[in-house]
Every structure is written in C-alpha cells, then in structure tokens.
Amino acid sequence: MDRKLLDLLVCPETRQPLAMLGASGLAALNAAVAAGALSRVDGTPQSAPLREALVTHDQRLVYRIDDGIPVLLVEEGIPTGQVADFPRGDAARA
C-alpha cells in the first residue's frame, strides 16, 4: 500500500492511526477463519481468508484490504480479542 495513503488512514470509529498488519497477525486471523471462529463487528462471519489488513494502533481492530482497497467500515472491522493467540505489536508502517 502506498505510504502516503497509509499515513492518511485512520480508524473510522476511534480515529487511531492504522498500520499494515504483519504476517503473524494475518496467520492468526486466517487460522481463526479456517476454524470458523472469526466474525466482524456486526456479527457476520469472516469466511474468506485475509491477504492484507490494516490494524489500529492499539491492536484491537483490524480492517481487511480487498483488491488493494481498504474496507474502512466500522461494522466490517474484525475485533482481535476473539483470537486468543493474536500477536500484539505485529504492525509496521509500510
């Protein structure tokens, strides 16, 4: 993702800055997807694995990136608290 765009993006709910989610965070979320144990804020199951995602500064909410486009809708965010082994601190500015 373009660094200039990433620097402008914030969580639509908390206004925290967003960063790219690292590989271990994606792996933990995708393991939960495969187990059928991951849902979005609105309760909809996240059934497709994530290729890329953005994470809030406090690491509590993840927003998926579909075909290079961040999906920054609060109801489609994915709370990380539902993933017991979600690695905290797995974000880096691109």
Per-residue pLDDT of 6-16, as tens digits, reads 788 999 999 99
The pLDDT tens digits for 67-87 are 999 999 999 999 999 999 999
Give the integer Cα–Cα distance in Å for 42 and 74.
8
Confidence (pTM): 0.89
Contact 30, 49 (CB under 8 A): yes
Give the integer Cα–Cα distance in Å for 63 and 21.
9
